[in-house]
Amino acid sequence: MLEANEIRELTLDEIDEEIRQSKEELFNLKFRSSYEQLENPSLLRQVRRQIARLRTIRHEQETAAAGEQE
């Protein structure tokens, strides 16, 4: 899991790729949890929070870039 300061160092394309990978991981975890017990059920929560963190920082960067263009 990436920390917020590590995410802020990424480009928008890299953040988009991390979001895609995290969503795929979340899907796989949900699928696995539907037919078997997960070793660490808190992973679902961690991945959801990671996606939210990535999306928040992506929005911050987009807003900052739009502000600089004006």
Query: Which carries the bigger pLDDT value, residue 44 or residue 70?
Result: 44
Contact indicator for 25, 70 with CB cutoff of 8 Å = no
Residue ranges in the chain assigned as alpha helix (H): 4-8, 12-35, 42-69
Query: What pLDDT is stored for residue 68 in this prediction?
Result: 82
Q: With a cut of 90, say whether residue 2 has pLDDT above it.
A: no
Q: How confident is the model at residue 62 (pLDDT cuts 50, 70, 90)?
A: very high
CATH of the domain at 8: 1.10.287.310
Q: Work out how many domains the chain is built from and give that number.
A: 1
Cα Rg of the chain (Å, integer): 15
Which residue range(s) make up the domain with 13? 4-69
Query: What pLDDT is stored for residue 23 in this prediction?
Result: 98
Query: What pLDDT is stored for residue 67 in this prediction?
Result: 83
Q: With a cut of 90, say whether residue 13 has pLDDT above it.
A: yes
